[in-house]
Amino acid sequence: MKLYISEFSRIGVDMGNLAVPVPMVPAISEQFVEIGLKSVQVEKFRDQTRLIMVRAEAACHLAFGENPEASPELHGMGAGETRFYGVTPGVRMAVVGDH
């Protein structure tokens, strides 16, 4: 099972130039990692990345930071769930399966 990550640099705006809580597409980067029994880090987020969309095929746990280690006790995400996160460029995310 995989964890899919899409990176975005901006959020949308409406006709009046007001912010809308959706990412501006296309994504500037897309990647995926296998969800397993050991914590795995994704590639560093690009310099332009401010928002990510994460979709999990299996229940898992996430961690964010310079050298994150995902743990089954923290930040759970359900199978089939999609979430959005604001992120700092250059940070990494790690994932581990729900044991």
Query: Is residue 99 very low, low, confident or very high in pLDDT (cuts 50, 70, 90)?
Result: confident
Domain residue ranges of the chain, discontinuous segments joined by +: 2-97
The residue among 39, 48, 49 whose CA lies nearest residue 93 is: 39
* 96, pLDDT greater than 90: yes
Burial readout 8-25 (b: 16 or more C-beta within 10 A, e: otherwise):
bbeeeeeeeeeeeeebee
Residue 23's pLDDT is 94
Residue linked to tokens 């759970």: 76
What is the tens place of the pLDDT at every residue in 11-29?
999 999 999 989 999 999 9
pLDDT tens per residue across span 28-87: 999 999 999 999 999 999 999 999 999 999 999 999 999 999 999 989 999 999 999 999
